[in-house]
Chains A and B, each alone.
Chain A
Amino acid sequence: MTSSPSPSRKALSKIACNRLQKELSEWQVNPPTGFKHKVTDNLQKWIIEVTGAPGTLYANETYNLQVEFPQHYPMESPQVIFVPPAPLHPHIYSNGHICLDILYDSWSPAMTVSSVCISILSMLSSSPEKQRPTDNDRYVKNCKNGRSPKETRWWFHDDKV
């Protein structure tokens, strides 16, 4: 996987570590429906398998989400991207970047990996058609050097999908 646009990554703070361990243990007891955490020994980077919800355009398709945690998680938001191939969706770019406000401007430390996953699945589920964002090519070209989506200035224009 060459997918990871690695942010300048510092080791997790102790607080971030505690919080992630807690999240992980709660995930193991009660994982969000449709998600499977692929076990590794890396607490700072999770790979999560998503299965499209039944009855939606993505039913039975599986994708991989990569969630990478910054030093000061949960004050800072995690970096969440789809590992390409990313699902065809009006808010998901072909390089896996996801245009979803809670991952950037509207992040709150009270959110968890689990709640973020649920938001992403709900975004997938409500999609009316499988297509890329209209500015996909331009955006992906701009992101060439493995830039993190967190460095993008997102413009959240559409809350229907």
Chain B
Amino acid sequence: MTEEEVAMEMEAVEAVYGEDCVILDSNPPHLHLHIKPRTAEISSQQFVEAVVRIQASSKYPDEPPRISLIESKGLDDQRQKHLIGIVQEKASQLSSSLMLVELCEEAAERLTIMNHPDGDCPLCLYPLFPEDGWSKEMPFMKLMSCFHCFHCECIIRWWNWLHTQKDTDSKSGDTLHMRRGTSTHEGNSGSGGQSLGNCPVCRKVFHASDIEHVLDLVGAQSSQKDSGLIQGEDEDPLLQSDSENVRRERFEAILKTQEEKGGLVQPKKNISVVPGMYLPPPAPVTASSNEEEAGHSREQGEEAPKEAESETNSSSSTNHRGRGRGRGRGQNVNRRKPNSQDPRKPTRQWVQRAREDDK
């Protein structure tokens, strides 16, 4: 093989893999290949990732290049060895012909086959996949930063616990924990006011947005169990109502603050507490029931401000409660579903973007 041919091969590798390929030396070839499973670029379907080094000697291709794993995510030892072993084998099979592209392809294909989470949830120690196959009862999720996987339920429980703790700590002025908190933030100064956490397994920092979609998922599932049918019926008309959309936006904002504070449930119970505080423009769909309620609320309207002052701390939640009342008590519970589902859309987009950033 001439030097020219090897150089052309390197060009081909560069053309095929683009930014996923870092060429350290073109002759003899030495490169790092960042491989991801071929999951049609859907990052939520990606559970493993690897950087493989291919380093050839001056005798390439008569002598096969050395293959090694530089870093990986989501792969246990066994799968790491397996991956490298297979690519090495391929390399010796192909010796004396130009093989770089083929090796890279082999690695990517093998990694795609290995693209599944494995083992137990690190928090409850029970398998991520129950032995009897896929279980809808225990969905799992992975952290985008390190690919460690957990049952959704388990990580949410931990996340909420953590935030309850943080609240108590800062109230009691625990200096130790405060110190720890600031050091975490300093390490990630670019992240602004974003809420951060550390992976329970490797302590790698992740953003709250990483698990927010799971919070929504868990919420949506539990309310689905509660009352699936009725929601399905009034979901569509509600979507067309402007005032409903506004209400949802507020609800979302409140939900967010709750998540940040770790107090998930509390306001849901209190939605209908203050009568007649604020009357939303009647939504066309539920007009009849609204008027009844509204009239009822007006009667009590005079007392309302007092109650509100003594009762609530923030104006936003006061409004919110008033609205809830205006809509009628019985329906509030059902409305939870669309509200908790909605935020998933933005988060999905976030996931996609993050993926693009990765490259």
Residues 157-185 of B contacting A (Cβ, < 8 Å): 157-158, 161-162, 175-177, 180
Residue of chain A at shortest CB distance from B180:
A105
Q: Within the complex, what minimum Cβ distance (angstroms) separates B127 from chain A?
A: 10
Contact flags A7-26 to B (C-beta < 8 A → 1, else 0): 00000000100110011001
Q: Within the complex, what minimum Cβ distance (angstroms) separates B130 from chain A?
A: 14
| Complex contacts, A22 vs chain B, CB 8 Å | 124-126
In the complex, whether B200 has a CB less than 8 A from a CB of chain A is yes
Assembly CA distance A134 to B177 (angstroms): 25
Best-surrounded residue of A15, A108, A112, A153 (most CB of chain B within 10 A): A108
Q: Within the complex, what minimum Cβ distance (angstroms) separates A30 from chain B?
A: 13
Contact flags B198-216 to A (C-beta < 8 A → 1, else 0): 1011010000000000000
| Complex contacts, A72 vs chain B, CB 8 Å | 161
In the complex, whether A55 has a CB less than 8 A from a CB of chain B is no
Contact flags B131-171 to A (C-beta < 8 A → 1, else 0): 00000000000000000000000000110011000000000
Q: Within the complex, what minimum Cβ distance (angstroms) separates A117 from chain B?
A: 16
Partner of B177, one of A18, A74, A105: A105
Best-surrounded residue of A15, A22, A75 (most CB of chain B within 10 A): A75
In the complex, whether A110 has a CB less than 8 A from a CB of chain B is yes
The answer to whether A18 and B180 have CB atoms under 8 Å apart is no
**Chain A interface residue count, Cβ-Cβ cutoff 8 angstroms:** 16
The answer to whether B126 and A108 have CB atoms under 8 Å apart is no
Q: Within the complex, what minimum Cβ distance (angstroms) separates B219 from chain A?
A: 19
| Complex contacts, A109 vs chain B, CB 8 Å | 122-123, 158, 200
Contact flags A28-45 to B (C-beta < 8 A → 1, else 0): 000000000000000000
Assembly CA distance A154 to B198 (angstroms): 21
- For the side of the interface on B, what is the size category? 10 to 19
| Complex contacts, B200 vs chain A, CB 8 Å | 108-110
Known: A109-B158, A110-B201. A74 touches B176 (CB 8 A): no
Q: Within the complex, what minimum Cβ distance (angstroms) separates A8 from chain B?
A: 15
Assembly CA distance A80 to B175 (angstroms): 23
The answer to whether A19 and B177 have CB atoms under 8 Å apart is no
Known: A23-B125, A109-B123. A75 touches B177 (CB 8 A): no
Residue of chain B at shortest CB distance from A74:
B123
The answer to whether A108 and B201 have CB atoms under 8 Å apart is yes
Assembly CA distance A74 to B201 (angstroms): 13
| Complex contacts, B201 vs chain A, CB 8 Å | 108, 110
Assembly CA distance A75 to B162 (angstroms): 8
Residue of chain A at shortest CB distance from B165:
A75
Assembly CA distance A74 to B125 (angstroms): 11
The answer to whether A15 and B203 have CB atoms under 8 Å apart is no
The answer to whether A19 and B125 have CB atoms under 8 Å apart is yes
The answer to whether A18 and B161 have CB atoms under 8 Å apart is no
| Complex contacts, B177 vs chain A, CB 8 Å | 105
| Complex contacts, B126 vs chain A, CB 8 Å | 18, 22
Contact flags A113-141 to B (C-beta < 8 A → 1, else 0): 00000000000000000000000000000
Contact flags B316-354 to A (C-beta < 8 A → 1, else 0): 000000000000000000000000000000000000000
Q: List, sorted by A's number, 20 A–B pairs whose CB atoms are closer than 8 Å.
A: A15-B157, A22-B125, A22-B126, A23-B125, A26-B125, A72-B161, A74-B123, A75-B157, A75-B162, A105-B176, A105-B177, A108-B200, A108-B203, A109-B122, A109-B123, A109-B158, A110-B123, A110-B200, A153-B175, A154-B176
Known: A108-B201, A108-B203. 4 other contacts (CB 8 A): A15-B157, A75-B162, A112-B125, A153-B175
